[in-house]
Amino acid sequence: MNSIKPKKLKKGDTIGILAVSGRIKEYERIEKAADYLEKQGYKVVISNTCKTSHRYMAGNSDEECIKAFHNFFEDKNIDAILCARGGYGTLRLIDKINWKIIKNNPKIFAGYSDITTLLTMIYKKTGLITFHSAMANGDFGDEIDEYTVKSFFNTLQGKTKEYKAYNNVVLNKGKAKGILWGGNLSTLTALSGTNFVPDEDLILFLEDLNEPIYKIDKMLTQLFNVKEIAKNVKGIAFGEFKDIENIQMLEELEKEFVKEYNIPSCSGFRFTHNKTKDTIPVGIQAEFIANTGEIFISDEFVN
């Protein structure tokens, strides 16, 4: 696929905070995030969907979320879009999105968790490189983690060239090349049955939270029952599975799984729901070395 690189983030740019997933329970956090970003030298615009909700989702309706999503891409004054939070809701939107609007108005789009749906589908449908990153509500609207902030700005400014597992556990030795792709495991699994997998070699990165081991097993199995996943994934970089009940059992499962498919793999990366996290581009070529727990980005991912 011919990828589209967004413009790098620079001081003075306008960041749009967009809610299209779970409802915002404490709007004060969004205001705090906006204040923090403004103090770092950026302008901030907040979507109205940060103030409205229906059931457990942001916005008065799916249609309001789609309109806000389209408007933020079409607005020439907004340079980057930072999602407010995850939760649930993005799966309801993908059949309603006008992908031409995104392709014709490329810009930074960032978030994680349920936003994985949009990160991967935007790349699949348009080729636009997106970013698995910290978000407004839980990261910039709460206690600031300096590592997380540094990774966020360095990556969106195009300065990040490699990622290293902080606690490398080699699950299956080897090297692999492909595009960085993935995110939240349960969200990716929910996309099964849609046309969501790029026809390229993939370095799959995964994370999740509050999931029992048997469900992680089930979701990995379901994901790799998608023939394009089983064919295209050449390496797996496991991030953190937060609030897991048995780390040893998880490690056993991961080892068993990657050896069955003979995929180079290791765990211990800071792709996570925890406070300390890396921001990583989705859709850029990279080299993955399981033995040392390293990912090297092969190309520029912002202009």
Contacts (Cβ under 8 Å, ≥6 apart) of 227: none
CATH number at residue 105: 3.40.50.10740
Q: Do 93 and 110 share a domain, yes or no?
A: yes
Q: Which of 127, 156, 185 is the last residue of a domain?
A: 156
Q: Which of 113, 133, 186, 267 is catalytic?
A: 113
In a domain, 7, yes or no: no
Of the residues 186, 267, 273, 294, only one is catalytic, namely 273
Structure confidence at residue 1 (pLDDT):
78
Q: Which of 3, 186, 207, 211 is catalytic?
A: 207
Single-letter amino acid, residue 234: K
pLDDT band at 296 (very low <50, low <70, confident <90, very high): very high
Q: Is residue 29 part of a domain?
A: yes
DSSP lists the bridge partners of residue 54 as 57
Are residues 91 and 111 located together in one domain of the fold? yes
114 belongs to a structural domain: yes
268 and 250 in one domain? Answer: yes
Residue 169: give the domain boundaries. Answer: 162-297
Q: Is residue 175 domain-shared with residue 151, that is, in the same domain?
A: no
- 86, part of any domain: yes
Tell me how far apart the alpha carbons of residues 112 and 273 are, in angstroms, rounded to a whole number: 8
**If pLDDT is split at 50, 70 and 90, which confidence band does 53 have?**
very high
Residue 190 has pLDDT above 90, yes or no: yes
Q: What is the CA radius of gyration of the chain?
A: 18
Instruction: Determine whether 104 is exposed, middle or buried from the number of CB atoms within 10 Å of its CB (0-12, 13-18, 19+).
Output: exposed
pTM of the model: 0.98
Residue 273: active-site member? yes
Measure the CA–CA gap between 300 and 290, rounded to whole angstroms: 22
The pLDDT of 140-167, averaged and rounded, is 97
Model confidence at 164: pLDDT above 90: yes
* Average pLDDT of the residues in 54-74: 98
Amino acid at 291: N
- Domain assignment present for residue 303? The answer is no
Same domain? 189 vs 128: no
Helix axes 213-224, 247-261, angle to 10 degrees: 20
Q: Do 23 and 123 sit in the same domain of this protein?
A: yes
Domain stops at, among 156, 176, 194: 156
pLDDT digits (tens, 9 = 90+) for 258-274: 999 999 999 999 999 99
Do 167 and 289 lie in one domain? The reply is yes
**Do 133 and 179 belong together in one domain?**
no
Share the mean pLDDT of the chain: 98
101: confidence class by pLDDT, cuts 50, 70, 90: very high
% of the chain beyond a pLDDT of 90: 99
Q: What is the 3-state secondary structure (H, E, C) of 218-276?
A: HHHHHHHCCHHHHHHEEEEEEEEEECCCCHHHHHHHHHHHHHHHCCCEEECCCCCCCCC
One-letter amino acid identity for 39?
Answer: K
> Is residue 206 pLDDT above 90, yes or no?
yes
Please compute the mean of the pLDDT values over residues 146-167 and round it to a whole number: 98
Q: Decide which of 156, 178, 206 is a domain's last residue.
A: 156
Same domain, 150 and 248: no
Is 207 annotated in the active site?
A: yes
110 Rama sector, left if φ>0, alpha if ψ -120 to 50, beta otherwise: beta
The answer to whether residue 22 is domain-embedded is yes
pLDDT digits (tens, 9 = 90+) for 211-242: 999 999 999 999 999 999 999 999 999 999 99
Is the same domain home to 152 and 196?
no
Our answer to whether residue 132 is catalytic in this structure is no
244-261 confidence digits (pLDDT tens) = 989 999 999 999 999 999
Please indicate, yes or no, if residue 302 is contained in any of the structural domains: no
Q: How confident is the model at residue 60 (pLDDT cuts 50, 70, 90)?
A: very high
Domain match, 140 and 34 both: yes
CA distance 235 to 171: 11
* Alpha carbons within 13 A on the beta-carbon side of 97: 25
| Secondary structure (3-state) at 139 | helix
pLDDT at 295: 98
Say if 43 falls within a structural domain.
yes
261 shares a domain with 176: yes
Structural domains counted in the chain? 2
CB 74 within 8 A of CB 105: yes
CATH assignment of the domain containing 263: 3.50.30.60
